[in-house]
Structure 1
Amino acid sequence: MALRTEDIQAYLHVVELGGISAAARRMGLSKSVVSKRISDLERELGVSLLQRSTRSIRPSESGRYFYEQARAALSQLDHAAQTVSDAARELCGELRVLAPMTFGTRWLSPLIAAFARDHPRLNLILELDDKLADVGYERYDVAIRITRLGDSSLIARQLAVSRRVLCCSPGYAERAGLPQRLDDIAQHACLAYSNSPPGQVWAFADPSAKGGVRSITPRGVFTANNGEVLRDAALTGQGLAVLPRFIVWEDLLAGRLVEVLPELQPVDDGIFAVYPRSGFGSVKLRALVQYLQASLARAPWEDPDTAGTLRLLQGAAA
């Protein structure tokens, strides 16, 4: 049986992206070329790998099994190539990174660009999306997540702490007044992040509360799935918002936003690199994670001097 790697790669992309058109765009090929590669693979295997309809393409039962085995085999092949390359101390192959949109554009992208510059044989792909993706199934090597991490089948390495702040614009504070205690927030207009848990719960560190955390459900008048959108809404005086400091620290310093109830801090999130256990031995992945840990050791949004250095790095990488 003569299986071709390019045919298998085309099939993996079709399954992961849900269609031939999307796979063709990802691979930079025409739809006809991708279709032929799938047909050649099915003919060589003597089995139908895909169930086609007018609306979708899904893997058959045999196709699903072949997908899992082929993905693992190509991962092993890539790891073997990486191991050989390590002898020359060069990182090579493909490394796919998924990161949240705002953190990615504001802080991560200059670091990733510098890492890619220092490893020219590495094909580094950075995708920005706030979705909670299935890292293994969608073939990301690593995802950057900002969360309070629970149980997971993934390996997680903390890169930094994401401190959050309850804030509003001076205009809103003048018009509606500032809450004097946590219970007062229920009387205020609040801005909610739709990717948060159901009910848009805000959690605050409170040593007197059970478990050291007190949670409230604010009255949401504006909801978005992006932190910068919520920042803009806060700047225009639409209500209170709990936002990461890496988004609003400049606005706080400039007085465009004011901190509310500074004695009651929202519970911190962690900034994690998470990846499947199958990637544990990847030298290129380990190198990226260690690089990000070192680069974010002093959280730049907490340290204006570090932030300035990162801005220079961003300019140099452009």
Structure 2
Amino acid sequence: MDRIDAMRAFVTVVTEGGFTRAAEKLGMSPQLVSKYVSRLEERLGVRLLNRTTRKIHLTEAGTRYAQRAQLVLDDIDDMDSQLNDLQEGAQGQLRISAPVSFSTLHLSPLLCDFQRAHPSVSVDLQLNDRKVDIVEEGFDIALRIGRLKSSSMIAKFIVPIRLVMCASPAYLTQHGMPSTLEELKNHRYLHYSYMEDNNSFPAHEWRRTTGLEPRGNMVSNNGEVLVKAAIEGAGIIIQPTFICGPAIAEGKLKVILSQYEPDAMGLYAVYAHRKLLASKVRCFIDFMEGYFGDPPYWDSFDRGRSHSPE
């Protein structure tokens, strides 16, 4: 008796709720499925199932064995899938959901390089700052920025995302350079409004960092708009350096109160299942790892280096 086949027959009986449905799922007769399970019980020296004419009931040993056996079978299937991926290579359409500003500023070179490395993969990129339902909306992967809460999704950390407080030299000349958080009460804050209930976003970083409520007469759900307004002297912003980094490097914006810089967030690749992960998804995640540099190239304003990946 093949031990793996017997294990798979038993687990399928459990998940399908009976021998007949398990046989249909496995493409064999109910008698053979029953034989596999009986032989497995004999080998283990313990009863796994109590059978009646209509139902099956797991014993305590059967419950424990089913859980562990499922994990073993998942690992075997995943290993087989990875080996097949090596033979077949990444292919098919990769559907990605990603944040608007990060994608427009930084994602195109990565996608082009990825497709040059994996020409059999087509990309469908949908930009949206809301938290999409990956499964319901049919995405293979979502890129998310923030401090992710625990969930049933798998999240792979890609790169840190810094937030800095800054303003234009003209604004600081007119209104003064704040040296303490208390002095921010006398300044204008350009307010990022999208998804304020999510602590990952800059409006809450202002509250977290300063202890003050945002004030001012400009609100937008797009960070690029606010950065451009700050360059024009409209006020102070807290924004990710992947948006404001080039303006800081060019002297159009100046970092203020750097000693109170918020804790870094992260860019994550989020996907639904680790089991039987498609080659196109695995290859894309592997390709992103390290692509933006460590630290990422958009933070090079601190080092006087170039602003594009090597």
Give TM-score scaled by structure 2 length: 0.66
Which amino acid is the alignment partner of residue 154 of structure 2? I
Counterpart for residue 219 of structure 1: 215
Residue 293 (structure 1) aligned to one of 289, 295, 299: 289
Residue 235 (structure 2) aligned to one of 239, 242, 249: 239
Note the alpha carbon deviations across 1:28-50, whole angstroms, 9 max, x for none. xxxxxxxxxxxxxxxxxxxxxxx
Shift of 1:307: 3.1
Structure 2 unmatched runs, 5+: 1-77
Larger relative strand fraction? 1
Give me the CA root mean square deviation. 2.6
Give, in whole Å, the separation in 2 of the partners of 1:121 and 1:161. 30
Counterpart for residue 119 of structure 1: 118
Which amino acid is the alignment partner of residue 132 of structure 1? K
| Number of equivalent positions | 224
Q: 1:169 to 1:279 in 2, by over 3 A?
A: farther
Counterpart for residue 49 of structure 2: none
Counterpart for residue 145 of structure 1: 144
Shift of 1:203: 5.0
Question: Could you say which structure has the larger radius of gyration?
Answer: 2
Note the alpha carbon deviations across 1:165-189, whole angstroms, 9 max, x for none. 1001111111111222112222211
Contact 1:201–1:215 (CA<8 Å) still a contact in 2?
Answer: no
Shift of 1:93: 1.5
Give, in whole Å, the separation in 2 of the partners of 1:254 and 1:177. 21
Counterpart for residue 52 of structure 1: none
Q: 1:84 to 1:308 in 2, by over 3 A?
A: closer
Shift of 1:84: 8.8
Contact 1:185–1:218 (CA<8 Å) still a contact in 2?
Answer: no
In the alignment, does 2:252 pair up with 1:256? yes
For the residue of structure 1 that corresponds to 2:126, the secondary structure is strand
Give, in whole Å, the separation in 1 of the partners of 2:149 and 2:306. 30
Alignment of 1:1-318 (within 5 A): 86-198=85-197, 200-203=203-206, 215-277=211-273, 281-298=277-294, 299-303=296-300, 305=305, 307-309=307-309
For the residue of structure 1 that corresponds to 2:269, the secondary structure is strand
Contact 1:135–1:275 (CA<8 Å) still a contact in 2?
Answer: yes
Which amino acid is the alignment partner of residue 115 of structure 2? A
Contact 1:85–1:91 (CA<8 Å) still a contact in 2?
Answer: no
Q: 1:309 to 1:294 in 2, by over 3 A?
A: closer
Give, in whole Å, the separation in 1 of the partners of 2:128 and 2:234. 25
Shift of 1:263: 1.5
Structure 1 unmatched runs, 5+: 1-78, 206-212, 311-318
Which amino acid is the alignment partner of residue 168 of structure 2? S
Counterpart for residue 47 of structure 1: none
Shift of 1:128: 1.8
Shift of 1:111: 0.4
